Structure 1
């Protein structure tokens, strides 16, 4: 069963979304700073996935970039493997894999177009359903099937 937790914070510099894994669906606002991610209870962000090591990685925000450091096990950043003891500077949005857990790190304004697109698709679908229902009603009246009292 997946976790579904969304914390909203207007002052957040970044948003961390869990895309895959035990905590899929969780969205956390992050402020500038440094975060240790792993399965140990003393981590800043704890993931319960079986293949996440105790202190798997560290995130450190530096201006418009994020430093991703593999501290306990290898990390995949987009399509780039980052071995233990190494790091990588990237711009957001970025997708990070820790074993089977997959995270997306983005700035709040970068996430907004995705939500707008989802809302637009839903609105288009609803308008299509209303139009189809209206056309069926008109066709039924024209065919004499509808009983107008």
Structure 2
């Protein structure tokens, strides 16, 4: 009986370590920026391997916002400071429009200029110069004291 319990514990430990190692590897993959499209103060960044957790997404933005400005000139704020940067899953790549639910980019001169709408993350700066981070179930705000709070969507 004791041998069976020991084998079960070792099996679960091995499974837990393997799962943890896989998640760690998956979370450390570099983000691949495939393309950037712009429409005024709105920027659309098509990516592969974007972080999964909210904290990782925000950390990635904070670490890479200078690179995005230098390399892609985003964000592109309006005079009052407003901008939005939306990160989309590039998924299976560009496709033709389905006439309904794909996001299409007018700055491309081909009919294959749309992607499936799988949004990862949104960053926007409001007119009162408050940066917000949109995730699938809510928004994060940075308070004046630097604390971050989340407001869940209802």
Per the normalisation by structure 1, the TM-score is 0.26
More helix by share: 2
Greater C-alpha Rg: 1
